[in-house]
Amino acid sequence: MTPATTTPDIELALPARAANIAVVRHAFGALGEAFAVEEQILSNIRLAVTEACTNVVVHAYPDGQEGLLEVLATLQEEKLVVVVRDGGPGIGPRPDSPGLGLGLPLIVSLTESVQLGRDEDERTEVRMTFPLSSASS
């Protein structure tokens, strides 16, 4: 994936623990307030980001390994680009799961676009783009 060319407006690096998902949600709530993001759009952003972070906590680090949850958010014109990143083995089929589950389809339904991949350091990334107003969607 192509790295962002601008400095993120939010940059968090937290242990991939369930309790830290609330920290991320609060940060996006504050960002939404600071930039007067419409309530429904902010709700979509928070839900999609929460789901992506939950996927990191639940799936990225098997066998109880301690890992990192990284979240970057950058305002670009009338859009918000959010990257949720981890150092796990990547997204792939799991023998203990019958399919993709509900998380990724939910994220797709809440965003303007979603990209899944690896960054230049081979970290798994979910890159989500959101319109910042209903007029720009």
pTM for this model (two decimals) = 0.86
pLDDT band at residue 4 using 50, 70 and 90 as cut-offs: very low
Assigned CATH topology for domain 10-136: Heat Shock Protein 90 (3.30.565)
Domain locations along the chain: 10-136
When mean pLDDT is compared over 49-53, 60-64, 85-89, 94-98, the highest value belongs to: 49-53
Cα 15 to Cα 29: distance, rounded to the nearest angstrom: 20
pLDDT, tens digit (0-9, with 9 covering 90-100), for 86-134: 998 877 655 565 555 667 889 999 999 999 999 888 899 999 999 998 7
Assign residue 101 a region: left if phi > 0, alpha if psi is -120 to 50, beta otherwise? left
